[in-house]
Amino acid sequence: MRRRALALAAGTALLALTACGGSGGDTASSGAEFDLSDWASVEAAAEGQTVNWYMFGGSDPINAYVNGWVKDALAEKGVTLNQVRVDDTAEVVNRVLGEKQAGRDTGTVDMIWINGENFKTGKQADLWYCGWADDLPNAEFVDFDDPAVTSDFGEPVEGCEASWSRAQSVVVYDSAKLQPADVASLDALESWAKANPGRFTYPAPPDFTGSMVVRTFLYDVAGGPDDILGEFEQAEYDELAPQLWERLNALEPSLWRGGETYPQGGPEVQDLYGKGEVDAFLSYGAGDLAQQVADGVYPATTRTAVFEEGTIGNISFVTIPDNAPNKAAALVLANILQSPEGQYQKQVVTGAYPGIDLAAVPADVKAQFDAIEVPETDLPFEQQVRNSQPELVAEWVTALEEGWKANVLQR
């Protein structure tokens, strides 16, 4: 009995302790001092620091780019790069959140490659360092009139993150199994999937790619995204969602394994394609197709297509937590990532499209971009983004993910 009381007391004491820590934290600047308006002071403060960049680690070409060109460019500034690969960006946001709860003003994360939903989560809990993105010297190449740059899934960016990479969703298919007409539109692909049961699937939301597939269907149901952009409105959801679930449920029996289950994530779907279990999948920019074909993982007849009505595209960002221990180094890294040369190298190595405005970069770099050879498996950038569709606000994304679980997965 006494022991239990003791444990209880210890527990309560601890709780009180952590609670105090949580509320007592204020945001002192960490690391060496610098002045954002004086870039030389940022670079001076960054020298000798190690920047811990947390990012989705599931893409080999991106890992190669980060640990190759980026690491070298940082080394020239006297900054060491430590890439920390994660499976899901939400894990990192949870980590920073945990640090904030524990009242740690000096955390462990310096930079995060982030998407709209997680960015919004962090803003909700006031986790980010803000008002710096416009001060990066290379921000001059960023088109701040582009709504995809100023708001991330509808969440105002407010200088809390810097645009890094443009992703355009595409259909990857085996041209030995599907004709170009089968991937000309979502309707056509849907008809093909129904005529060839078991050969198509998508990952279960809230997986990033799976969530995009559900939104692609929603745009088609809504006759385009125009009516549902902007604020989330419950009435619109209530009108469109039932039609969307009906359509996805009608497709379900024709999916991989008869729609009895769904793959857990994008990489699993790519794996199924590589093993020949499915013949087509949707993906947010599959920059490594040519490599996968060369490695013999994907069939040589692999091709890329975008729908006539367009596909969803977005810009992804890098953000700096407010408690980042090496803020100056993170700023230097963000600046390097936005440099025209860095963006060019990124496209060459990873196939990911620039997060900066190519109209603003120097002519010689622009010429380099234009000279990038497009492999047979891919589509030229201009063709991909021709009818690029914007993303919905994060509330829509979350509502659709929850709705999909309840009405399609658990039905």
Partner 1 sequence: MTATPTGLAPLAAGGRRLRDRRPPAALRPWLLLAPALLVVVVLFLGGFAFGVAQSFGYLPFLQSEALSLDAYRELFRDPAVRASFGLTFRIALLSTAVSAVLAVVVGLLIRGTRRGRRLATLLFQLNLPVPHVVGATAMLLLLGQSGLVSRLSTAVGLTEGTADFPALTGDAFGWGIIAEYVWKETPFIGVVVLAALTTGIAPYEEVARTLGATAWQRFRHVTLPLLTPAVVSTSVIVFAFSFGSYEVPYLLGRPFPSTLPVVAYESYRSTDLTQRAPAMAIAVVIALLIGLLVLVYMRLSERFLRAAR
Give the residues lining the site for partner 1 (CB under 8 A).
7, 10-12, 14-15, 18-19, 22-23, 88, 90-91, 93-94, 97, 100-101, 117-118, 120-121, 124-126, 198, 204, 206, 257, 260-264, 272, 275-277, 394, 398, 405-406, 409-410
**In the complex with partner 1, which residue's Cβ is closer, 7 or 367?**
7
Residue closer to partner 1 (CB basis): 259 or 375? 259
Cα–Cα distances in angstroms (integers) from residue 365 to residues 136, 167, 339, 345, 361, in the given order: 19, 20, 10, 11, 7
Write down the least CB distance from residue 55 to partner 1, Å: 16
Report whether 95 contacts 293 (CB < 8 A).
no
For residue 296, count other CB atoms closer than 10 A to its CB: 9
Question: Which of 37, 159, 129 lies closest to 324 in space, CA to CA?
Answer: 129
The single residue listed with the structure tokens 């990911």 is 352
Report helix, strand or coil for 220.
Answer: helix
Q: Whole-number minimum distance, CB 271 to partner 1, in Å?
A: 9
Please, which residue, 178 or 394, has the CB nearer to partner 1? 394
Instruction: Provide, rounded to whole angstroms, the least separation between the CB of residue 411 and partner 1.
Output: 9
User: By C-beta, is 80 or 407 nearer to partner 1?
Assistant: 407
E strand or H helix at 154, and its extent? Answer: none
Rounded least distance, CB 259 to partner 1, Å: 12
Please enumerate in sequence order all residues whose Cβ is within 8 A of that of 333, keeping only pairs 6 or more positions apart, or say none: 51, 53, 70, 74, 79, 81, 110, 111, 318
Task: Give the nearer residue to partner 1 in terms of CB position, either 25 or 31.
Answer: 25
Do strands 161-174 and 280-284 pair parallel, antiparallel, or not at all (unpaired)? antiparallel
Closest approach of partner 1 to the CB of residue 97, in Å: 6
User: In the complex with partner 1, which residue's Cβ is closer, 14 or 374?
Assistant: 14
CA distances from 369 to 358, 397, 401 (A): 8, 33, 37
CB of 10 to partner 1, least distance (A): 5
Please list, in sequence order, all residues whose beta carbon lies within 8 angstroms of the beta carbon of residue 290, skipping any fewer than 6 positions away: 351, 375, 376, 377, 378
Is there a contact between 207 and 264 (Cβ–Cβ < 8 Å)? yes
By beta-carbon proximity to partner 1, the closer residue of 54 and 141 is 54
Q: Say how far apart CA 324 and CA 128 lie, in whole Å.
A: 9
Residues 349, 69: contact at Cβ < 8 Å? yes
Token look-up 């980590």 returns: 95
Q: How far is the CB of 190 from partner 1 (least distance, A)?
A: 20
Comparison of 190 and 395: residue with beta carbon closer to partner 1: 395
Q: Closest approach of Cβ 277 to partner 1, in Å?
A: 6
